[in-house]
Amino acid sequence: MVINKQSKGIFSYPLFWCAILFPVVISTTLMLFIGFNDNLTFQPPSRESLALFLDYMKVPLWILGSAIPFATLAAANYRAIQFQDNLDFQRRNTERQELEHTVELYHKELSLFKEKFEAIIYNGKFNLIRSEDSTIIYTRFYPKPKRREDVLFQIDEMRVKLVYEFMKLIERVVFDLGKINSVSTSGAERALKADVIKQVFNTLSGQEQEDIIRSLNIYDVKLINFLLIVDEKKSFVCSSIGIKNYSVKDEPVVVVIRSILDIIGLHHSILPEEDKYNQYRFSDKRRAELCEVLDHWLEYSSTLRSDRSKDNYSINDFINSIKMILAKSSMQKTPREVSICD
């Protein structure tokens, strides 16, 4: 809080004392100099002595008298400074009150958002974003005003654009991988499998790699490749908007996909309705098509056919499946023992 300092009065103003003391000191010095130089002595007051004093001391008395107008100017300057200080104090106090009012409105809107966010989570069928995340999500998308000039309730367009670019990346990767199938693009399927294998095993022989390529489920490969591509970007987005990141390196595949769908749903729910934000809007059709492709991959992948629950199938299970393929291939290539009878 800004508090106006109590003034100590004109006698605390240095310029006022300078305006008085300088003429007094100068005039006194001149009087002493004239008195000693002309051998003047003190006489009882009389008409002749007063006339002689005035005749010799005209200049020092004129200088001494100038202290009055100088002190008057200093006092006027002091009043002007005090007036400006009061204006500045009132301006700062007004700005502080306006900022406090703005912050109060911000917190009221935050409280309303927290109440609405519960309905957003329920209606949007969010899986991993919780109602407890509402405060940090709101403060990330709607920064708290720090100055009176800050615009209230204006969404952070940079964060909106960040999430939108992430959604575009997801869409592009998913549909690029969706074009690859075992019927019309076997060469692309083979290249995709080889690329994923290199990311998890980089010391395989050519034959071992061929055995794995023939045995791998293409939908497992698509899921793992997709999640590895978007993993780093997703981590940055989650940190930016204030939600927990579920990395494919640590979490089950289904959980990571649910977290991605939650991000898409959150972006759709929090984006303002103004036309200027349409450039960052994903249509219902685009979101439905994206979900349909991911559901298709999950349905035909090993996540549903694994010995483990589909909610627990992870990249480690994918790696273990590759190891099992290598083990089976190695056993098949081991020559059988032959007994020679005489």
- Which candidate, 246, 225, 232, places its Cα nearest to that of 174? 225
pLDDT for the residue numbered 168: 92
| pLDDT at residue 312, rounded to an integer | 80
Nearest to 209 by CA among 196, 228, 219, 218: 196
Q: What is the tens place of the pLDDT at every residue in 270-317?
A: 888 888 888 888 888 888 888 899 888 888 887 655 555 566 888 888
The beta strands (E) that lie in the chain are given as none
Domain ranges for the chain, please list them.
Answer: 11-101, 155-332
Instruction: Map residue 160 onto helix, strand or coil.
Output: helix
Tell whether the torsion through CA atoms of 189, 190, 196 and 199 is positive or negative: negative
Each residue's pLDDT, cut to its tens digit, for the chain (342 residues) gives 334 455 567 777 888 888 888 888 888 888 788 777 777 677 777 677 777 777 777 888 888 888 888 888 888 888 888 888 888 888 888 888 888 888 888 888 888 888 888 888 888 888 898 888 889 999 899 888 877 777 777 888 899 999 999 999 999 999 988 888 654 446 787 888 888 877 777 666 677 777 788 778 888 889 888 999 999 999 999 999 999 999 988 888 889 999 999 999 899 888 888 888 888 888 888 888 888 998 888 888 876 555 555 668 888 888 887 778 777 766 665 444 333 233
pLDDT of residue 342: 35
pTM: 0.69
Q: Are 113 and 266 in contact (CB under 8 A)?
A: no
| Cβ neighbours, 10 Å, residue 164 | 18
